[in-house]
Chains A and B, each alone.
Chain A
């Protein structure tokens, strides 16, 4: 596709519910990132994949957060037993590879936990 695609765009979950957020990166992009952006703040790093390998998950806030990219393309961010503090926009980004390349971001999934 032309860009990074995320779905759903909006998700309302009841506290305690599990959610799954999907990211379709740009075809051929080796690297994939997930970020969390709270209202009025900059995005904060959650996790990073190179192909199917999860090389950095240091930003995941708790063991309720889990991400996978089993075939090195589409990625899913799963949040179990959602809490109100999980409400945020979840952004996915992909890049061709290497430190000196730009990241392309999807439009994000806005998660609201009620």
Chain B
């Protein structure tokens, strides 16, 4: 079953704008990861944030994690048409059988020229 939900389900913005996606999950985690998926390239890892981290940056990406609220957000700044894709958060549980990734339902992002 899916770990949680992503919000919004779909997002349409203009090139150059920022895009924010939110993810909520249900159980305690070791880390949370964000992946991008488009039809041409499959699932691509974007960024990993550990449970003891609150914020992480990678290029135009900024991820926050609030373990007390069991939520995370992904911010893409200065979006480009090439950012058009589905974005998924995925959580990895604690030790003892937690090696699998549990994915959210995804946000479909469309960046228009």
Contacts and interface: CB of A to CB of B under 8 A. Distances in A.
Interface of A: 31, 33, 35, 41-45, 48, 50, 55-56, 59, 91, 93, 99-100, 102-108
Interface residue SS majority, chain B: strand
A48 B30 contact: no
A45 B100 contact: yes
A102 B45 contact: yes
A56 B95 CA distance: 13
Interface in B58-113: 88, 90, 92, 95, 97-106
A100 B31 contact: yes
A42 to B, nearest CB: 3
15 contacts: A35-B103, A42-B103, A42-B105, A42-B106, A43-B43, A45-B100, A56-B97, A56-B99, A93-B43, A99-B30, A102-B33, A105-B35, A105-B44, A105-B45, A108-B42
Contacts of B30: 99-100
B48 A100 contact: yes
Nearest to A42: B103
A1 B33 CA distance: 24
Contacts of B45: 102-105
Contacts of A102: 33, 45, 48
Contacts of A50: 99
The winner among A33, A50, A102, A106 for most chain B CB atoms within 10 A is A102
